[in-house]
Chain A
Amino acid sequence: MDSLAAQLQMKYRNYVLSLYQQGFLDDQFTALKSLQDDGSPDFVAEVLSMFFDDCVKLVGNMARALDQTGTVDFSQVGDSVHQLKGSSSSVGAKRVKGLCITFKELCEAKNYEGCVRCLQQVDIEYKTIKAKLQDMSNLEKQIVQAGGIVPQVDIN
């Protein structure tokens, strides 16, 4: 069992590192993790769950705003983008945040096609990070089940 736990821990470590290296996550995620302690063991899960709910909602808003027959209200789209930028930066979803910055510029430029494309990317991106974080969470559970402790991954 120890070796299983150890193996899982290694796998976990590599996985988390890769997420940072590939730019999916940033320091803010680390900070978020550090806020989780015995007093609030589900903090990260709770925050992420909220974040992904927000994603669904905001992406929906953006899609609706961009899908109008007639004039598109780019400021409305921009507002949703801004909000997504805020929450993605707060959880450390680096790629989503980066996309939001681009998206915002496109909104300001009222670049319809650009916005639509960007929205598609945002959609893909948040779902991707959601899946990856889910995988990470699963690994954590496996480690604990295997009797191990989830390691603190040192990004540096």
Chain B
Amino acid sequence: MTVEQGVQAVDQFPVGMRVLAVDDDQTCLLILETLLHRCQYHVTTTDKAQTALELLRENKNKFDLVISDVDMPDMDGFKLLELVGLEMDLPVIMLSAHSDPKYVMKGVKHGACDYLLKPVRIEELKNIWQHVVRKSKLKKMKGIVTNGESEGNSDQNGVRANRKRKDQLEEKDEEEQEQERGNDKKPRVIWTRELHNKFLAAVDHVGIKNAVPKKILDLMNVDNLTRENVASHLQKFRLALKKITNEAKQQANMAAANSHFMQMSSLKGFGSFHHSPIPLGSSQFHGGAATMRHYPSNRTFAGMFPHVSSSLPRNLHNDGGHMLQGTPFPPLENLHINSNNKAFPSFASQQSSLLVAPSMVLEGHQQSTSPSFSPHLEINKRLEDWSNNIPQSNVHSEPDALGWNMFGNSTNQTYFCRDTDFGSSSAAQADSLQMKQQHENIFSPMTVAQLLRSSSANEGLFMGQQKLENGFMASDAGSLDDIVNSMMTQEQSQAEFSEGDWVWVA
């Protein structure tokens, strides 16, 4: 769209904007519909989130904006929010009678453009069209960056063009955007799917140990990308991986705890994590599960984000010290590179949902006080998805995935490989083997070494709970080598497991 067209579109936009309204409460839905009509929008309503999804999937171009209630019986509004964001990239506004800031935060983290409290007033609805405009601007900018890459333009038109357009478009919007994201004045690099894939390819190529921004940048061979861009992206990536793996581990731990008595008294709050595929079943982590489904088959960095799923069980018990000490997972917010939840398009769709999922899962988890299999199920399902998408060859090509890095930051963590008979189902076994190859290396240095040798049935990885407790530390640890080495040292020094189920993989 040219600037002129853009302006015209803005002028016309409020009128006839196509809104999909979702609320299981018929009274509220009727009122909402009437309010929206009064704003001269075109309104479609449904009281089922599932129906809404179907409508959207049928033709995503049919709607400009989605407004959805948070508490719906057939699907959590946050989950719907995520899915819509991922699949259709439409702006979603949340609606709720919950005024609790934590819900608002949750909405924001899941990518909501806005969060309205019931009862909704017409004044609030009169301005929601701004989200549509904003989003389309973002998309345009993304497109520009992508074009910049593909054309290999040397005059830096990609990022600069963004800037130009931004300048030409409303100044105010620009300011708002930048303020919103808390950016400095540099042109923003949007990590599109293509860009992110290149990033992944580069990281994969150099190996996690050598994943330094300079090398990645060189390999990516993208114009208008600075080392700083890559560095910050890499950092976020690592954090994401770490979170994911931590969560996955926690879930595995919980699952393991259910089936095995885990004793990790020697571990200070370390949980073991076993990610064997188990059919998805948790309603607690519905968000995560759903998000996993949509991961494109772009590779992930050597299985780096294998298990986005589950959140770390927050309140794992400490009996016998075999569960991860429950501490809330820090929000995955830092993983969101831009306000748009789809920071990593290709990877993002995998990643952001990965990123998002854990938090969603986490939050759900937070409320639970007992471990349950559900997160595990979630994780496993995700693992399945991942494994299906990850080329096997990656398994042994890299000593470890980025995930190592994340783990490595904590110096108090020990990593254990637990050999458990997780194969509670044959499917699990098959998947676990598959996934193991990809994921094992992520979780523990030892496994990595092991992986390189052969694939065994080891899938347990323990994540340092401590690390998790502190949130995800930025991987400002030195080189990957250091991290891996430190991890290995730690592991080797803590090998006390009283349960026979646990096997030290050394």
Chain A interface (Cβ < 8 Å from any Cβ of B): 28, 31-32, 35, 40, 43, 46-47, 50-51, 53-54, 79, 82-83, 85-87, 89-92
- Do residues A54 and B119 form an inter-chain contact, with CB atoms below 8 A? no
CB of B10 closer than 8 Å to a CB of A:
no
Q: Which of B22-30, B226-234, B303-311, B321-329 contacts A (4 or more CB under 8 A)?
A: B22-30
- Do residues A86 and B31 form an inter-chain contact, with CB atoms below 8 A? no
| Nearest CB in chain A: distance from B480 CB, A | 45
Contacts of B122 in A (CB 8 A): 31, 35
Task: List the A residue with the shortest CB-CB distance to B97.
Answer: A86
| Nearest CB in chain A: distance from B43 CB, A | 13
Residue interface bits B8-48, CB-to-A below 8 A is 1, else 0: 00000000000000001111101100110010000000000
What is the predominant secondary structure among interface residues of chain A facing chain B?
helix
- Do residues B97 and A82 form an inter-chain contact, with CB atoms below 8 A? yes
- Do residues A91 and B31 form an inter-chain contact, with CB atoms below 8 A? yes
Assess A89 versus B97: contact at CB under 8 Å? Given A35-B35, A43-B34: yes
- Do residues A91 and B118 form an inter-chain contact, with CB atoms below 8 A? no
- Do residues A92 and B30 form an inter-chain contact, with CB atoms below 8 A? no
CB of B214 closer than 8 Å to a CB of A:
no
Contacts of B38 in A (CB 8 A): 35
10 A-B pairs whose Cβ atoms sit less than 8 Å apart in the complex? A28-B119, A28-B121, A35-B35, A35-B38, A82-B98, A86-B97, A90-B119, A90-B120, A91-B27, A91-B31
Chain B interface (Cβ < 8 Å from any Cβ of A): 24-28, 30-31, 34-35, 38, 69, 71, 96-98, 118-122
- Do residues A86 and B118 form an inter-chain contact, with CB atoms below 8 A? yes
Task: List the A residue with the shortest CB-CB distance to B72.
Answer: A83
Task: List the B residue with the shortest CB-CB distance to A48.
Answer: B27
Contacts of A35 in B (CB 8 A): 31, 34-35, 38, 122
Task: List the A residue with the shortest CB-CB distance to B38.
Answer: A35
| Nearest CB in chain A: distance from B166 CB, A | 37
- Do residues A46 and B28 form an inter-chain contact, with CB atoms below 8 A? no
Contacts of B118 in A (CB 8 A): 86, 89-90
| Nearest CB in chain A: distance from B102 CB, A | 14
What is the predominant secondary structure among interface residues of chain B facing chain A?
mixed
- Do residues A54 and B97 form an inter-chain contact, with CB atoms below 8 A? no
Contacts of A85 in B (CB 8 A): 97
Task: List the A residue with the shortest CB-CB distance to B73.
Answer: A79
Task: List the A residue with the shortest CB-CB distance to B29.
Answer: A50
Nearest 6 CB-CB pairings of A with B: A86-B97, A87-B27, A90-B119, A89-B119, A50-B27, A51-B27
Bound CA–CA A46/B29 (angstroms): 12
Bound CA–CA A28/B28 (angstroms): 12
Contacts of A86 in B (CB 8 A): 25, 28, 69, 71, 96-97, 118
- Do residues B34 and A40 form an inter-chain contact, with CB atoms below 8 A? yes
| Nearest CB in chain A: distance from B111 CB, A | 23
9 more A-B residue pairs beyond the given contacts A83-B24, A89-B119, A90-B28, with a C-beta to C-beta distance below 8 A: A35-B34, A35-B38, A46-B30, A50-B26, A51-B27, A83-B25, A87-B25, A90-B25, A91-B119
Bound CA–CA A87/B32 (angstroms): 11
For A35, A51, A87, which residue has the most chain B Cβ atoms within 10 angstroms? A87
Contacts of B27 in A (CB 8 A): 47, 50-51, 54, 87, 90-91
Contacts of A32 in B (CB 8 A): 31
Assess A54 versus B35: contact at CB under 8 Å? Given A82-B71, A82-B97: no
- Do residues B97 and A92 form an inter-chain contact, with CB atoms below 8 A? no
Assess A47 versus B30: contact at CB under 8 Å? Given A82-B71, A82-B97: yes
| Nearest CB in chain B: distance from A71 CB, A | 16
Contacts of A91 in B (CB 8 A): 27, 31, 119
For B28, B31, B97, B122, which residue has the most chain A Cβ atoms within 10 angstroms? B97
Task: List the A residue with the shortest CB-CB distance to B34.
Answer: A35
Bound CA–CA A79/B98 (angstroms): 11
Assess A83 versus B71: contact at CB under 8 Å? Given A90-B120, A92-B119: yes
Contacts of B25 in A (CB 8 A): 54, 83, 86-87, 90
Contacts of B34 in A (CB 8 A): 35, 40, 43
Bound CA–CA A46/B71 (angstroms): 23
Task: List the B residue with the shortest CB-CB distance to A51.
Answer: B27
Contacts of B97 in A (CB 8 A): 82-83, 85-86, 89
Contacts of A82 in B (CB 8 A): 71, 97-98
Bound CA–CA A78/B24 (angstroms): 16
Task: List the B residue with the shortest CB-CB distance to A50.
Answer: B27
Bound CA–CA A86/B95 (angstroms): 10
Bound CA–CA A98/B214 (angstroms): 60
8 Å CB contact of B31 from A53, A79, A83, A90: A90
Contacts of A92 in B (CB 8 A): 119
Task: List the B residue with the shortest CB-CB distance to A34.
Answer: B122
| Nearest CB in chain A: distance from B379 CB, A | 25
Contacts of A54 in B (CB 8 A): 25-27
| Nearest CB in chain B: distance from A66 CB, A | 19
| Nearest CB in chain B: distance from A136 CB, A | 18
- Do residues A31 and B28 form an inter-chain contact, with CB atoms below 8 A? no
Bound CA–CA A31/B38 (angstroms): 12
Contacts of B120 in A (CB 8 A): 90
| Nearest CB in chain A: distance from B75 CB, A | 14
Task: List the B residue with the shortest CB-CB distance to A75.
Answer: B367
Contacts of B28 in A (CB 8 A): 86-87, 90
Bound CA–CA A31/B126 (angstroms): 14
| Nearest CB in chain B: distance from A17 CB, A | 21
Bound CA–CA A54/B140 (angstroms): 44
8 Å CB contact of B71 from A31, A53, A79, A90: A79
For B28, B35, B38, B98, which residue has the most chain A Cβ atoms within 10 angstroms? B28
| Nearest CB in chain B: distance from A156 CB, A | 17
